[in-house]
Amino acid sequence: MLEIIRIPVLSDNYVWLVHEPQSKETMVVDPAVAEPVLAEAEKRGWTITQIWNTHWHPDHTGGNAEIKAATGCHITGPEAEQERIPTLDTLVKQGDTVKLGDVTAEVIDVPAHTAGHIAFHIASDSAAFVGDTLFAMGCGRLFEGTAAQMYDNMRKLEALPGSTQVYCAHEYTQSNGEYALVAEPDNQALQDRMTEVLAMRKRGEATVPTTIALERATNPFMRASSAEELSERRVAKDNF
* Annotated catalytic residue, options 19, 117, 121, 170: 170
Backbone angles phi, psi at 142, to 5 degrees: -90, 70
First to last CA, the chain: 40
Give the per-residue pLDDT at 6.
Answer: 98
74 is a catalytic site residue? no
* Annotated catalytic residue, options 19, 30, 59, 109: 59
Dist CA 86 CA 94 (whole Å): 20
Reduce the secondary structure of the chain to three states and give it as a string: CCEEEEEEECCCEEEEEEEECCCCEEEEECCCCCHHHHHHHHHHCCCEEEEECCCCCHHHHCCHHHHHHHHCCEEEEEHHHHHHCCCCCEEECCCCEEEECCEEEEEEECCCCCCCCEEEEEHHHCEEEEECCEECCEECCCCCCCHHHHHHHHHHHHCCCCCCEEEECECCHHHHHHHHHHHCCCCHHHHHHHHHHHHHHHCCCCCCCEEHHHHHHHCCCCCCCCHHHHHHHHHHHHCC
Q: What is the pLDDT along the chain (240 residues), one digit of tens a residue?
A: 999 999 999 999 999 999 999 999 999 999 999 999 999 999 999 999 999 999 999 999 999 999 999 999 999 999 999 999 999 999 999 999 999 999 999 999 999 999 999 999 999 999 999 999 999 999 999 999 999 999 999 999 999 999 999 999 999 999 999 999 999 999 999 999 999 999 999 999 999 999 999 999 999 999 999 999 999 999 999 999
113 is a catalytic site residue? yes
102 is a catalytic site residue? no
- Cα 236 to chain centroid, rounded: 22
192 is a catalytic site residue? no
Give the per-residue pLDDT at 92.
Answer: 98
121 is a catalytic site residue? no
For the chain, the farthest-separated pair of C-alpha atoms sits apart, in whole angstroms, at 52
* Annotated catalytic residue, options 19, 30, 109, 113: 113
* Annotated catalytic residue, options 55, 109, 117, 121: 55
* Annotated catalytic residue, options 19, 30, 57, 117: 57
Give the per-residue pLDDT at 109.
Answer: 98
**Cα angle 115-120-122, degrees, rounded to a multiple of 5:** 165
* Annotated catalytic residue, options 30, 109, 132, 152: 132
117 is a catalytic site residue? no
* Annotated catalytic residue, options 60, 117, 121, 152: 60
Residue type, 23: S
Q: What's the predicted TM-score (pTM) here?
A: 0.97
